[in-house]
Structure 1
Amino acid sequence: MNLLSRSIPTQILIIEALFRRLNPNHRIHKDLREEYNRRKKGVAGEKQIDYYLEFLPPEQFYIFRGLRLICDNKAFQIDTLVISQKFVLLIEAKDISGKLYFDESYKQLVCINEDGDQQVMEDPLEQVKRQSRQFVKWMGLKLDVPIEYLVVLGDSRTYIDPRSGPKYKDYILHAHALEEKIQELACKNQKDIFQEETLRKLTSRILTCHNPLSIDPQKTYQYSSADIIKGIQCPECKKFGMERANQVWECPHCKATSRDAHKQAILDYLLLIKPTITNKECRDFLGIKSRKIAHRLLNSMNLQFTGTNKSRIYYKPKHG
């Protein structure tokens, strides 16, 4: 049973908004592109894993994707958490191409890409083991719960060097082998650990305590509000400056029209400037003068708000 779906990472949404509204010659564009490509590749790997998880019997497994919890005032992220009555499984997703050598002695992963370039990174097995310890502490249960963990590679073409330490063969696998591996773990752990009521309370608590990442985009990506292009972007020619006429937006450059081009602009503001917006701020950002039109446009977004009339504040949609 899927209890927590994986959403588009906030960082990807922010970077896409920056691609739309940051001058192409801005100094951070190269770094943005590199991070964007890396994150999109990671999302693709996670989707591969999600696909094979769909083959599991939904009545036997509770699945949480993109889970973020707080323990002892420290956040930890679990790519995928699978819970059954018999065991708990943490999955660390990796989408790495090339040849991989897992160095047990130094607890590191050596990756050689198609160009022959070598990169050394933290051993992902150590990473998911650390997450499992944090999750056990977070649960705080007086039960001897079997905790399993795996590192799953989303790219089926990734080569695992057989010289890697022997312990890795039980914990590192490709996504296409995931369903069979989980069934193997179910056969290994046959005793029911969780009573139905305990399991229900645990899954409910996990959902309640899920704490999506919140970042300050201007501090994280090193830009200022002054760097952001205002106005409504034409969905056709991508130029800014669409104007309101007869309840539609019209592009003065290509003459294309749109009824809802303002929605992306308002979301861009909430992603890039600050997570709240007022009627006045909306008018300034969209380049319109009418308070009534701004009120109607903001209400069309179904955003949560507080206050009334001129004191009304609208909030960015919750994500993740």
Structure 2
Amino acid sequence: MIEKERSYPIRLLMYEALMENLTENHPKFPIIEQDYRAWRAGYKGELQTDYRLSFLPEKGYHILRDLRLADEEWYFQIDTLILTLRYILLIETKNYSGILFFDKDSQQIIQTKDGQEKSYDNPINQVRMQAWHLKRWLKSHKLNVPPIYHLVTISNSSTIIKVSDRSLNNLIVKGDAILNRVIQIDEITSNPTYNDKELKKLSKLLIKKHTPHHPDILKPYSLTQADLQKGIQCPSCLTYGMQRDKWTWSCPVCNHKSKSAHHKKIKDSFLLFKPSITNQEFRELSNCLSIRAATNILLSMNLPHTGTKKGRIYHMPPDIEAFFNPAKK
């Protein structure tokens, strides 16, 4: 049973907004695009894991995807969590290709691809730390702690896996073998820790305590608003600088008219700067609006807000994609 679905990562939405808003021929674009592709590949790998686990029986397995919890002052994020009456399983998905060598001594993995080597932090340590945090989290909420297993799954079916120690084979699994590994764990864990009622209660608590993250996408690249395009982008010719004429935006380049061209600018502002916007901030981004026009536009969008009149602050909707693209919901 899928208790929590996996949504399109906000980090990918941020990267997409960033690449679309960078000034022309920006020197940071190549590295940003490379990082975006890596994050997108990771997301695709997670979707492959989701698909493979969808063949588990509907009854007996409570699956939560992309879960982020607070453990005192730390946060920990779990790609996939499977709850059962007898155990909890954490799965960390990686979508690496080529040849992967897991070195137990150096605690790293070495990828060989296209004749070049690259090292990564060992994802086994990553998912082991998640299990450690989850155990503390359960105890802090005065809940029983069942056996907690953890696995790393390599979703790319063509990847070759090599290990320095055979014991690592118990912690690493190719994506197409993940179902078999879950069955093996079923077979070695027999005593229940929870009853059905307790398991449902735990599942609801985990979802309630899920804390979405809004990372700063500009800081890692030392970017500021000066690196981004100002003005409203024309949805037809993609140039910036549409002008407001009563209730319509007009493009001075191609003469295209739009009533909702500002939606993208506000959405991108939520993603790139902060999950809120004021009238003044919107006017600075649009580069052409009066206070009254900006007020009318923001009010017409029915965004969540706090405050009144000049002190009103408009907030990012909980599901930003569904809000700005209702047809995709």
Gaps of 5+ in 2: 321-329
The whole-number CA distance in structure 1 between the counterparts of 2:78 and 2:230 is: 37
Residue in 1 aligned with 2:22?
22
Gaps of 5+ in 1: none
CA deviations over 1:163-183 (Å, ceiling 9, x no partner)? 542123222222222223223
Equivalent residues of 1:10, 1:319 under 8 A apart:
no
Tell me the secondary structure at the aligned position of residue 3 of structure 2. Answer: strand
Q: How does 1:183-194 map to 2 (within 5 A)?
A: 183-194=183-194
CA deviations over 1:213-254 (Å, ceiling 9, x no partner)? 233344333112222222111223211122334644332222
CA deviations over 1:52-98 (Å, ceiling 9, x no partner)? 12222233222221111121311111111111112100001101000
The whole-number CA distance in structure 2 between the counterparts of 1:139 and 1:268 is: 37
Return the letter of the residue paired with 2:157: S
Residue in 2 aligned with 1:153?
154
The whole-number CA distance in structure 2 between the counterparts of 1:134 and 1:195 is: 23
Return the letter of the residue paired with 1:268: D
Report the aligned-residue RMSD: 2.3
Q: 1:304 aligned to 2:304? A: yes
Return the letter of the residue paired with 1:148: Y
Residue in 2 aligned with 1:83?
83
- Superposed displacement of residue 109, structure 1: 1.3
The whole-number CA distance in structure 1 between the counterparts of 2:72 and 2:11 is: 25
Q: 1:222 aligned to 2:222? A: yes
Q: 1:208 aligned to 2:208? A: yes
Moved more, 279-288 or 41-50: 279-288
Equivalent residues of 1:278, 1:313 under 8 A apart:
yes
The whole-number CA distance in structure 1 between the counterparts of 2:227 and 2:106 is: 44
Residue in 2 aligned with 1:259?
259
The whole-number CA distance in structure 2 between the counterparts of 1:301 and 1:175 is: 43
The 1:249–1:56 alpha-carbon spacing in structure 2 relative to 1, beyond 3 Å, is: farther
Identity of aligned residues (%): 36
Return the letter of the residue paired with 1:276: S
How many residue pairs get aligned? The number is 318
Return the letter of the residue paired with 2:11: Q
The whole-number CA distance in structure 2 between the counterparts of 1:120 and 1:178 is: 25
- Superposed displacement of residue 142, structure 1: 6.0
Equivalent residues of 2:270, 2:277 under 8 A apart:
yes
The whole-number CA distance in structure 1 between the counterparts of 2:130 and 2:154 is: 18
The whole-number CA distance in structure 2 between the counterparts of 1:144 and 1:245 is: 62
Equivalent residues of 1:232, 1:261 under 8 A apart:
yes
Return the letter of the residue paired with 1:160: I
The whole-number CA distance in structure 1 between the counterparts of 2:256 and 2:190 is: 62
